[in-house]
Amino acid sequence: MKFCYEIKGGDFSAGGSASSQVKKTLKQFNIAPQVLRRIAVALYEAEMNVVAHAWRGSMCVDINIDHLNVVIEDEGPGIEDIERAMEEGFSTATEEVRQMGFGAGMGLPNIRKNSDEMKLTSTPGIGTRLALTIRF
Amino acid sequence: MREKNYTHSIQIDRDKCIGCSHCMRVCTTQAIRIIEGCAVIQPERCVDCGECYRVCPQHAIYAMDDGLASLAADHYRVALVPSVFLGQFPSDYSATEVLEAVKNCGFDEVREVEQAVDFMKEAYRIRAGKQLPRPQISSYCPAVVRLIQVLYPSLTSHIMLLKAPHDISALYLRLYREREEFDSRKLSLYYITPCAAKTVAARAPVGESASLIDGTVNMKEIYNKTLATLLARKEKGGRKHVADMSPDSVCWSLSGTEKHYFPGRSLAIDGMENVIDFLEKLESGHVSDIDFLEMRACDQGCAGGILCPGNRFLTVERLEQRQKRLQQLKDQQEGRVENRLLEYSEMLHPLSGVEPVHPRDGLLLDEDMEKALVKLQRIRRLMSYFPGFDCGACGAPSCRSLAEDIVQGKASISHCVFVQRVMEKNYKLSPDQAFVVIEKIWGRGRLNKYNDANENES
C-alpha cells in the first residue's frame, strides 16, 4: 500500500513530519522494534536532506508484507559527485544549515547503514531521487 | 516478544461517569472510548499516567490502591514513605514528626524511601561506565516506561534496567530483617504512593516477575489521617540529629535531580506532552550526544503526582528547605552521612537490576502482516468519509481512531454523526435507527432526558 507526503525545502521547523507520519503507521504492524528504528532513522535523514538542500520534494512509501519501499524525490540543485556525497563527513550544507545541527555529512552514510538497499540518482540542476528498501 | 500484562490502577466509577469525554480527549495513548454513556479504558493502551484523572469533572476516575484495610494484622507492617509526602506538610512539622504520625495509621515501622537514593547514585555511576545504548532512559517513572512500551517500542532497549528507589529500600529492609533472623513471610511492606503508575509498578512490575512491595496505599488517604494526628498533637515531636542520607536525595523524585548522577550529558524532561515530544525526536535519531534522559510523566516530577493533595510548587519548595536542613546536619557531622542502607551496597548491587523491557501491542492492527495491510487499506478508505474534525461525538478521540475501531470490529461507520446525516439524507438510515446508534454511544437516558424536558416546556 502506497502513501505519499510532500516535503518543503528550507522548512526546518516542519522537517521530519513526513517520516513521523510513516513511523506512526508502521507501529501498527508487527515489525521488530530494531527494524522500526532503522526505518525511522533512514526516513528522517532522507527527509532532512530534502529540507536542507532542495526546494521541494516528496516521500512515497510502499508498505508490503515483508518489506518497505521508499522513494524520496526532490527538485533541487542535485548532487554533483554521488560517490563523494556518500563519504562519511562529506557535506555541501551551508554554514546556516550546519549551525542548526544538520549537514554533518552523515546523512547518506547513515541512510545506507540503516537500509537494505539504496539507490541514489541525481541530475545536477534538476533534482535527486533516492530509493530505499528495508526488509522487515 | 511482547508484554501482555495489562494490570491497571486507573479505574472508572460507572455510577459517577456521565460520558462527557474530557478524559478521552486528554488521553495520551488514545486508550479511552465512550460506550453507552460511560468512559471505557482499553487495557492494552493505558499507561496509568492519570491525565484523565486530572481532568474528570465528575471525579468518576479513581486510582485503585491496596488500601490501609489490606494491612495484614499479624504481620510486621512497614510503611515506605516518599519525600514528596513529607513535602505535603508545612515546614513547621519536622520529618520525624510526620513519619511518627504516619506510623499511627497502622504501621509498626516507617521508613523513608529516599534512603535508597545514595545507592541509586552509585548504581547510575556504574551503569554510565558500561557499554549500554545511549541515551539511557531512566526507569524511575513507571508511566514513562509504559508509555515507551506502548508508543515507542523501538526505544524499549534504552530503558535503564534498574529498580526504583522504593524497591531498593524494600530489598534492603528484607535483607536487613533476614540478617536479624526475622521471619520474612511475616514482613509486609507498603508504599505510600503519589500516583497510579507506582501502584501498577508494585502490582505488575516491568522486567520482574514479582514486586518487593506487598501493597500500596493512596497518599491522599494517609495525608488526611496524618494531618489529623499532627493537629491533635499538643507538644512538638522530635527532629533528626544525624544526616542519614545525602541532602539532595530528598529531591530525587522531583524533576532535575536524578540527571546529575549520570556522568555525561543529560536532560530532565517532565510533563506527559513534553516527554512524548522528545521521545518522538529521539526515535527518529534526531537527538545525538545525550547520555541520559530523566523523564517524568508529571509536571515537576512526583510533586505533581495525581494523588498528592498539596500544591506541587509548594511541595518543591519544602523539599528544597529540607535539603538545606539535611545539609546543616551533614555539616555538623563534618560532612558525614550515616546511611545504614549503604552497608548493604555490595549485596544490593547484584540484585538491583531488572530484566529487559519488551514493547506492548497496544497499537497493533493485527499480528499478521497481510491482515494488518488489509485493515490499513480499509482505514484509509473510511477516513475519506469522515469529516476530520475529531469532534469525539462517535465516542472515539479522533476520526482516525474511529476508523481503527471499525476495522477491529469495535464500532460501526454509523457512529460518525456526519456519516449518519448523509445516510439519513440518502434514506439509508431512519432517524429512529440513528437515535439507537447515538444512544449506544451517549447512553440510554441521554436522549430521553431531552424529550421529557421539551414536553414540560410545552
Q: Does the CB of A25 have a partner CB in chain B at under 8 Å?
A: yes
In angstroms, the separation between the Cα of residue A35 and the nearest Cα of chain B is 8
Report the complex ipTM.
0.87
β-pair partners for A20: none
Handedness of CA B123, B128, B132, B134 (dihedral sign): positive
In B, which residues are within 8 Å of A64 by CB distance? Answer: 373
Helices marked H in B210-364 — which ranges?
Answer: 219-232, 272-283, 312-332, 345-348
Using alpha carbons only, give the angle B290, B291, B294 rounded to the nearest 5 degrees: 90
DSSP strand pairing (B292-296 vs B266-270): parallel
pLDDT attached to residue B236: 74
Share of chain A above pLDDT 90, in %: 68
DSSP strand pairing (B266-270 vs B76-81): unpaired
In A, which residues are within 8 Å of B359 by CB distance? Answer: 33
CA distance A7 to A130: 14
- Which band of pLDDT confidence, cut at 50, 70 and 90, is reported for residue A75? very high
pLDDT attached to residue B209: 84
Query: Is the bond preceding residue B135 a cis peptide, omega within 30 degrees?
Result: yes
pLDDT attached to residue A120: 93
| Cell numbers 515501622: residue | B109
pLDDT tens digits, B384-429:
999 999 999 999 999 999 999 999 999 999 999 999 999 999 988 8
pLDDT tens digits, B177-219:
888 888 888 999 999 999 999 999 998 888 888 889 999 999 9
- Which band of pLDDT confidence, cut at 50, 70 and 90, is reported for residue A85? confident
- Which band of pLDDT confidence, cut at 50, 70 and 90, is reported for residue A41? very high
* CB contact (8 A) between residue A1 and residue B373: yes
DSSP 3-state assignment of A99? Answer: helix
Q: How large is the average pLDDT for residues B76-90?
A: 96
- Which band of pLDDT confidence, cut at 50, 70 and 90, is reported for residue A100? low
In A, which residues are within 8 Å of B374 by CB distance? Answer: none
Using alpha carbons only, give the angle A40, B48, B305 rounded to the nearest 5 degrees: 110
* CB contact (8 A) between residue A37 and residue B154: yes
List the single residue in A with minimal CA-CA distance to B156: A33
Q: Is the pLDDT of residue B458 over 50?
A: no
